[in-house]
Structure 1
Amino acid sequence: MSHVIGRSTLLKPQPIRMGALLLCAAAMLCAGASAGAQRPDPATRLFAMLNAYRAEHGLAEVQHSPNLSRVARLHVDDLEFSPPAAHCSPHSWSTRGQWSACCYPRDHSQAQCMWNKPREIAGRDYPGYGFEIVCHHPRRMTPEIAMACWSASGPHLQVILNRGHWTGVAWKALGVEMPEHYAIAWFGRETDRASKTKPAGPYAALP
């Protein structure tokens, strides 16, 4: 099950060339692995696969955002421990954290609840809006499942590939998290001031 914010007409789903994408993502990660780095965690692999998918379509790499990754991590934990009610989408937030709670309906009438989360959580460290895509899987989530989920959805392709409502938008920041049953990616139009030339932590394996 996948969810996205947007008001665009559905695009015809495009089959993802998973073999080529995996090879491209693997190439992005091999430098760190050959240097003796530990195997990248699933979120790091998903981050690389998203950028590899963009590269296949002639789009620029989006820089890793520590602050948007933090928002993604908190939201994944919130969804795992406090699943939203049936009439609320996974863009919802519970009352169990230091953020504004909301039931995010399917008509996106509470979009501001999503957009404001980076500034609510990161404050001055990331004052821009954030735009989220979510995929849920009843079993263990993997980067491959997440990419297949998003590539089969027109609205998700529009966000990832800057199409439809997102044409002309230049993504400057990307945060990803994927622990158990959810995969979440947050895109931002502003550069994360905490970003480095090369990401820190597990993202250091990326060239």
Structure 2
Amino acid sequence: MATLKPKYLFLHIVTLCLVMVIPQFAGAQNKIPDDFCLTNDEFNLFDAINQIRVDYDKNPVELSASLSYVASLHVDDLYNNHPDTSICNTSSWSDKGNWTPCCHNSYVYDPDCMWEKPNELTPYRYRGYELVTFFGDDFNNDSIINIWADSKEVIDMIITRGSYEKKKWVCGGLAIGTNYVSLWFGQRADSQDSPKICEDEVRDTIAMAIDSISKPDEYYLIFGSFNDIHSAKEALRKARNDNFINANLINENNRFRLYLSKFDNLKEAMYAKQQLQFNYRDAWILKD
């Protein structure tokens, strides 16, 4: 029987320790925390993404806990550690977390930097595809949808058109962070249960659901907001003179919004916005 010398025996023991420890660490990395949850705004934004798909005759996708968790980690990393500096774009990850850091940019093509993050960080064993956007300090779901709706590349990704036409999204996830919003899609189902809503927002969700039972969604093409009725009426007169015959005002707590038209679905509102003449291109879409 062969006998190991002391230094080789030490190396052998270290190797065994690594074999035993690394799988346990990897497994720990893949577990989604039990207290992980989504906010009302995140649920509503995901519903709006699915509504865009439905408006373009695409099936809605399932909300994925795994992809939402990756999105949550990424927006936190972007805000706290700023890996999106110099030539690195917002798909980059810092070296400040339990993940593989990488600098994602158009000069060095490394799509695995993004694609493998769900597999690296969650039980989702397939590739993920991310859209992540930086916003200013004041943004909400309406402004997110408006900015994304103005981008052909974003719409192509959401509805699998153009360079994404060979993809078939089955699930998706998102997170709204400070200054960043991350949206992910995957082509395979997530084995995890759908994410839960954060407990402190459950009561608000129930109230909103009751309020909306008999109220269909409407989408307004908003062009201005005014503090006094006289300025609002003058803007309304100009809009109607420019052939926006359906233009009118919305009064909310003595703040007046001018809308050029209203629509029953987001697709029609987006199309109408794209057809606006130049001096009305700053209009945005409000869902009521």
**Bin of the TM-score, shorter chain as denominator length:** 0.7 to 0.9
2:131 is paired with a residue whose SS is strand
Instruction: Give the aligned partner of residue 153 of structure 1.
Output: 151
Residues 42 and 107 of structure 1, relative CA distance in 2, 3 Å threshold: farther
Structure 1 position 57, deviation (Å): 0.8
- Could you say what the CA RMSD is over the residues aligned between the two structures, in angstroms? 2.0
Unaligned runs of 5+ in 2: 1-38, 210-288
Q: TM-score of the superposition, structure 2-length normalised?
A: 0.53
Deviations 1:129-187, CA, capped at 9 Å, x for gaps: 00000111122332112212221112111110110121142211111100221111000
Residues 160 and 46 of structure 1, relative CA distance in 2, 3 Å threshold: same
1:200 aligned onto 2:199: no
Distance (Å, rounded) in 2 between the aligned partners of 1:152 and 1:108: 27
Instruction: Give the aligned partner of residue 164 of structure 2.
Output: 166
1:57 aligned onto 2:53: no
More strand by share: 2
After the TM superposition, which segments of 4 or more aligned residues of structure 1 sit over 4 Å from their partners?
A: 202-206
Structure 1 position 117, deviation (Å): 0.3
Larger Rg: 2
Q: State whether residues 140 and 180 of structure 1, in contact with CA within 8 Å, keep that contact through their aligned partners in structure 2.
A: no
Deviations 1:45-102, CA, capped at 9 Å, x for gaps: 1101000111111110100000000000000000010112131100000001111101
Identity %: 29
Q: TM-score of the superposition, structure 1-length normalised?
A: 0.73
1:129 to 124, 127, 130: 127
Higher relative contact order (CA 8 A, sep 6+): 1
Structure 1 position 108, deviation (Å): 6.4
Instruction: Give the aligned partner of residue 31 of structure 1.
Output: none
How many residues align? The count is: 163
1:190 to 177, 188, 191: 188
Q: State whether residues 58 and 159 of structure 2, in contact with CA within 8 Å, keep that contact through their aligned partners in structure 1.
A: yes
1:48 aligned onto 2:47: yes
2:63 is paired with a residue whose SS is coil
Q: State whether residues 173 and 191 of structure 1, in contact with CA within 8 Å, keep that contact through their aligned partners in structure 2.
A: yes
1:46 is paired with a residue whose SS is helix
Map 1:79-158 to 2 at 5 A.
79-83=78-82, 84-107=84-107, 109-122=109-122, 125-158=123-156
Distance (Å, rounded) in 2 between the aligned partners of 1:61 and 1:150: 18
Instruction: Give the aligned partner of residue 233 of structure 2.
Output: none
Distance (Å, rounded) in 2 between the aligned partners of 1:186 and 1:108: 22
Instruction: Give the aligned partner of residue 37 of structure 1.
Output: none
Which amino acid counterpart does residue 45 of structure 1 have in structure 2?
N
Distance (Å, rounded) in 2 between the aligned partners of 1:140 and 1:93: 24
Distance (Å, rounded) in 2 between the aligned partners of 1:108 and 1:178: 28
Which amino acid counterpart does residue 109 of structure 1 have in structure 2?
Y
Q: State whether residues 63 and 195 of structure 1, in contact with CA within 8 Å, keep that contact through their aligned partners in structure 2.
A: no
2:62 is paired with a residue whose SS is coil
